[in-house]
Structure 1
Amino acid sequence: MTSLLTGLLRGTAAGAAGTTALNLTTQADMALRARPASGAPTELVSAVADRVDVDVPGSRRERGRRLEGLGGLAGSATGVAVGGLAGVLRSAGVRLPAVVGGPLLGLAAMAASDLPMARLGLTDPRRWANADWAADAVPHLVYGVTTHATLSSTFRADDRERAERPHAGPRPATTGSVLRAAALDAATGARSTAGPAALAWRAQRGDRGASGTAANGSVRTLVSVLALGEVAGDMHPAIPPRTSPSALVPRLALAAGSASTAARRDGREPGPGALVAAGTALGAAVGGMRLRGWAQQRLGTDLPGALAEDALTAVLGWVGAGRSA
């Protein structure tokens, strides 16, 4: 396995390449649409300086130029930092397919840029027009694709050596294995025991890791009883809301554990599946509550919403617990 320091250095270089691609895309958009440069980075640096009580010296014009330069540096630092984190994760064994890794890196860089501005009240993404979203999302997608491609090329020799020595460790994750992990995590987000139950029912004797243990009839029965008990007791007033910390933390942990169990069963690296677990499970938990709330408002009862959620959870769990070819 590549050292974390090597991964960090490779990641920062990939992040620098991605940042260059992002800047080129933004400048091309400015030239084509004759739009002005965004003042958001300058506003962000100015707001942060005011918040931490740091005085930027110079006259009004000099201060504005310094803030503009610092804003550009902050944007470049964000791109390099996101790339560095991606390099560390890859050196730790998290290898995402290009179709997943590129957009995910773009989304991470976009969040790292936009969330601080939203928290400081400098912008409200909920009020952005479609053109505003496109002007922000497209350059960040280009950043993600470029950073992922550059990072993959720097690890190509390591990956080739790993492929020539299959005994050295598990195989890299594929698009299919990550999508199955996402389905399994979504099922666990809706029903915390859905992921373990689906894995238990699709387990076979001789499987690697916990999946082999789950193939035992008594273990499968126990997990199934727990899953049915969760469905039956979901409406009880003593049960805390699924988005409360006491319910959400175990749910996310079970989602990550289920994804890792499926990956080890199939001889795949567990990192990518566990990485998508938190976001997917959280989205499913919130989405399920909204579905039932919508049914309650429209129909006067959330029973149809609960039944629809249970059916969708069962399908997602069964598909997510499927095996790699």
Structure 2
Amino acid sequence: MTSLLTGLLRGTAAGAAGTTALNVATQTDMALRARPASDTPVETVSALVDRVDVAVPGRRRERRHRLEGLGGLAGSATGVAVGAVAGALRSAGVRLPAVLGVPALGAAAMLASDLPTARLGLTDPRRWSSVDWAADVVPHLAYGVATHATLASTFRAEDRERAEHPERFPRPATTGALARAVALGAATGARSTFGSAAIAWRACPDDRGPGRVLAGRFGRGAATLGALGEAAGDKHPAVPPRTAPPGLAPRLTLAAGGADAIARRDGYEVGPGVLVATAAAAGAAFGGVQLRAAAQERFGSDLPGAFAEDALAALLAWWGAGRAR
């Protein structure tokens, strides 16, 4: 399987190709309709630098020119970054056919560029006309076509080798493997250490991947103490909210790491399991907050919801860490 770094580099090149295609499509539209260049990139950068209190030097005209340059660079960086992520995912085993990959890449690039402007109040897509939507969608579809085609060409040699010698590569993730990854991710989103503890107790010294380091007494003991400590501390009112970045980031990281460990242990591709586990962790983190709030409203205390969440997280973690049959 291609290394993550190689995937990132290939994705960066693909994102650059996609950004070029997007710019060509946009400039073609400007030439055909005789419309001016959009001021949105400049306004977005201006709003961002004002928000973070960074001074852009120069007089009014010079400052405007610098903001125009920064706006163009920000757009290029967005396209390259989306391509880099796509390359990393492809190196991890996520390979979408063109009919899905092209619109997915275009939508990702469109979201990455339009969401900040909408959040800053510079535009409202709900008020766009059909012409406005077309002017945004078509260039991003061109981005998706070029990026996907470049990615496919750079990974073609590996795909050919995969087809000729499948025994050299991890197996594609099955429905059961993905279901276990979802369960493990959900358990980790609810209790960040439960997934690691379950993997430790299910691990064997001869396992493949990082999970084997937890197979010994020390690994199991440390993971168990961490899980018990979290289960006790979670009930304390002073514990910060799990949906805030300091609480959510470790959950997502541990969910991805746990899914990676069981996929490598069982010989499956890593990428799909990591994706679904991370998404499940995020959903469980927010869903658990709602469960606790519902328990608080019904029973006058969130403890019933907290204990129910403990039990559910433990069951999901134990099943999710199970071995492929």
Structures share fold, TM-score greater than 0.5: yes
The separation in 2 between residues aligned to 1:308 and 1:149, in whole angstroms, is 48
Is 1:44 the counterpart of 2:76? The answer is no
Question: What runs of 5+ residues in structure 2 fail to find an aligned partner?
Answer: none
* Structure 1 residues 238-289: Cα deviation after superposition (integer angstroms, max 9, x where no partner): 6554456775565444323312211211123445645666665344323322
Partner residue, 1:188: 188
Matches for 1:128-167 after TM superposition, within 5 Å: 129=126, 135=133, 147-148=147-148, 150-162=150-162, 164-165=164-165
Identity %: 53
* Structure 1 residues 171-213: Cα deviation after superposition (integer angstroms, max 9, x where no partner): 2654745564344223212112221244356556853245557
The separation in 2 between residues aligned to 1:210 and 1:7, in whole angstroms, is 22
Pairwise CA distance, 1:131: 7.3
Pairwise CA distance, 1:154: 2.5
The separation in 1 between residues aligned to 2:39 and 2:207, in whole angstroms, is 56
TM-score (norm 1): 0.64
* Structure 1 residues 66-98: Cα deviation after superposition (integer angstroms, max 9, x where no partner): 9889856753552234214533x258x423242
- Give RMSD over aligned pairs: 5.3
Moved more, 76-85 or 203-212: 203-212
Moved more, 231-240 or 284-293: 231-240
Is 1:16 the counterpart of 2:17? The answer is yes
Paired residue secondary structure (1:296): helix
Paired residue secondary structure (1:98): coil
- Conserved? CA contact 1:43–1:122, under 8 Å: no
TM-score (norm 2): 0.64
Partner residue, 1:254: 254
* Structure 1 residues 88-119: Cα deviation after superposition (integer angstroms, max 9, x where no partner): x258x423242897787556534532454366
Q: 1:73 to 1:231 in 2, by over 3 A?
A: closer
The structure 1 residue matched to 2:94, chosen from 79, 88, 96, is 96
Q: 1:122 to 1:242 in 2, by over 3 A?
A: closer
Q: 1:203 to 1:75 in 2, by over 3 A?
A: same
Partner residue, 1:266: 266
- Conserved? CA contact 1:15–1:82, under 8 Å: no
- Conserved? CA contact 2:11–2:86, under 8 Å: no
Partner residue, 2:291: 291
Moved more, 151-160 or 228-237: 228-237
Matches for 1:191-206 after TM superposition, within 5 Å: 191-200=191-200, 202-203=202-203
Paired residue secondary structure (1:117): helix
